[in-house]
Amino acid sequence: MLPDEEELQKFLQENRSTKDIRLQWIDFSGILRARFVPIARCLQIAQGKEEYLIPQVSMIIPVSTAPKCFPTSNEIETWVLRPDWTSLRCCGFRPSHASVMCFVEHKEAEEKYNKCPRMLLTRELDRLERLWGVKMLAGFEIEVMLLDQNFAPPINQLDRLNSYQTTAGLRGQTLEAVEEILDCLKESSITIHHFHTETHDQIEFSLSPESPLNAIDSLILAQETIRTVFIRHYIKATMTPKPLINGPTNGIHLHLSVDKLAPPHTDNFLAGILTHIKSLCALGMANFDGYVRTTKDSAGAWIGFGTENRDLPVRKINDQHCQSVPVYRGGFTGWLEWVHPEHGFDLEGLSLDERMPTSLQEALESLKADEMMKTLIPGRLLDAYIAVKEKEVEVFQKMSDDQRRLRFLEYF
């Protein structure tokens, strides 16, 4: 790995059109947040001559109350963005911009990164490879609903997306936007596995597999690319789980493969996921309206796995490859923890007799009661995260369906 300044200088030499860099991080509500910083100042940061401070509330703004936040302690906290310069990429949709994902440092804490999900994931991936020789690949499927300027369907165009895997809807303006997106993603070093129509006004983009951290960074940048390009075509592209009161739902599905786990360890991995899937849902399905997908065939109502049965939350494609529906940015770390062979979970001992959580509150209660999860995630991070999500539940359950829908459309 190159030193920070050398990594940045190398990138700038290869991308001379870059003028500003987006210092980005994901907060506890799953919202992408960013500061736009000129190149000269970024060089100062990379050289260690300047620290980029952010408000202590930068991780704890519930979607339901934004921009109002609820600090989880009375302590005065100093937070610093520490760019992970290895994640630096061009913004294909804005050639003068680049983006870099950041670690979030809590300066006063004894463990300075005890509230940083990215650092937790980075360390866990390193530990898996170092101790167990396990390497992973991950890729995401992104379902996108296309709405008009009033956040409603149908989009006012002659050629409308209308069904699963058809060419209808991809003959005019929508295809032009998709091709522009693909060009932008290529400029950002993101490879598309394929894309296809889903249902009315919905399209899916599948990203090619990468190492897990790169896959997450690609997901975040791909989402921003999709939103930005469609906005230029006066189309609202949203990934929120429930974009309409009555209509299709959106999901972000994870494909995960491992290269070193042979049976029965791959079965242990799956069994570990399924044994703790209720608490993992609090991290991987962290949206109040996301549980519409566990009451119908979008994700399945019952805890279990299948091979080609799409009505279950986990699909075992082969011994090294599985697909999961209930996963989102913040939940990825939890999934990786169950790869350890010594956990000894028994896939054969599981039966299809337990229901998936039907609400975010139910998933949060499972997370709070899961003693193993408490050993895997730093207590301060877990406490802060749960506090934010419980505030979202408290406020969102008082809103009407349409009020929540409009709020989520603003952010996702």
Domains of the chain, first to last: 4-113 (3.10.20.70), 124-411 (3.30.590.10)
Q: Read off the tokens for 6.
A: 């050398």
Angle at 67 between CA 85 and CA 51, to 5 degrees: 30
Res. 298 pLDDT band, cuts 50 70 90: low
- Per-residue pLDDT at 352: 64
Higher-confidence residue of 342 and 249: namely 249
Distances (CA, A) of 228 to 208, 231, 252: 21, 5, 18
Biggest CA–CA distance in the chain, Å, is 60
Closest CA to 144 of 63, 253, 62: 253
Cα(245)–Cα(187) distance, rounded to whole angstroms?
36
Res. 258 pLDDT band, cuts 50 70 90: confident
Residue 334 has pLDDT above 50, yes or no: no
Parallel/antiparallel/unpaired status of strands 136-147 and 202-207: antiparallel
Residue 260 has pLDDT above 90, yes or no: no
- Per-residue pLDDT at 353: 72
The tens digit of pLDDT for each residue in 75-124 reads 677 889 999 999 999 999 999 999 999 999 988 888 899 889 999 889 98
Res. 297 pLDDT band, cuts 50 70 90: low
Residue 344 has pLDDT above 80, yes or no: no
Cα(42)–Cα(21) distance, rounded to whole angstroms?
7
- Per-residue pLDDT at 78: 85
* Pair 21, 98: CB distance under 8 Å: yes
Residue 339 has pLDDT above 50, yes or no: no
Please tell me whether the overall predicted TM-score, pTM, comes out greater than 0.85 for this model: yes
Residue range 310-318: mean pLDDT, rounded = 68
Residue 308 has pLDDT above 80, yes or no: no
Most confident of 65-79, 118-132, 263-277: 118-132
* Pair 88, 11: CB distance under 8 Å: yes
Residue 145 has pLDDT above 90, yes or no: yes
Contacts of 317 (CB under 8 A, 6+ apart): 255, 307, 323
Residue 336 has pLDDT above 60, yes or no: no
The tens digit of pLDDT for each residue in 11-53 reads 999 999 999 999 999 999 889 999 999 999 999 999 999 999 9
Higher-confidence residue of 278 and 73: namely 278
- Per-residue pLDDT at 377: 87
Mean pLDDT, all residues of the chain: 85
Distances (CA, A) of 153 to 146, 150, 204, 290: 7, 8, 17, 20
Contacts of 287 (CB under 8 A, 6+ apart): 30, 240, 241, 328, 360, 408, 412
Higher-confidence residue of 65 and 230: namely 230
Range in 33-47, 56-70, 397-411 the model is least confident about:
56-70
Secondary structure of the chain in HEC code, one letter for each residue = CCCHHHHHHHHHHHCCCCCEEEEEEECCCCCEEEEEEEHHHHHHHHCCCCCEEECCCCCCCCCCCCCCCCCCCCCCCCEEEEECHHHCEECCCCCCEEEEEEEEEECCCCCCCCCCHHHHHHHHHHHHHHHHCCCEEEEEEEEEEEECCCCCCCCCCCCCCCCCCCCCCCCCHHHHHHHHHHHHHHHCCCCEEEEEECCCCEEEEEECCECHHHHHHHHHHHHHHHHHHHHHCCCEEECCCCCCCCCCCCCEEEEEEECCCCCCHHHHHHHHHHHCHHHHHHHHCCCHHHHHHHCCCCCCCECCEECCCCCCCEEEEECCEEEECCCCHHHHHHHHHCCCHHHCCCCCCCCCCCECCCCHHHHHHHHHHCHHHHHHCCHHHHHHHHHHHHHHHHHHCCCCHHHHHHHHHHHC
Residue 164 has pLDDT above 80, yes or no: yes
- Per-residue pLDDT at 81: 95
Scan for tokens 């249902």, then name that residue: 199
Res. 323 pLDDT band, cuts 50 70 90: low
* Pair 78, 56: CB distance under 8 Å: yes
Res. 295 pLDDT band, cuts 50 70 90: low
Range in 128-132, 181-185, 262-266, 354-358 the model is least confident about:
262-266
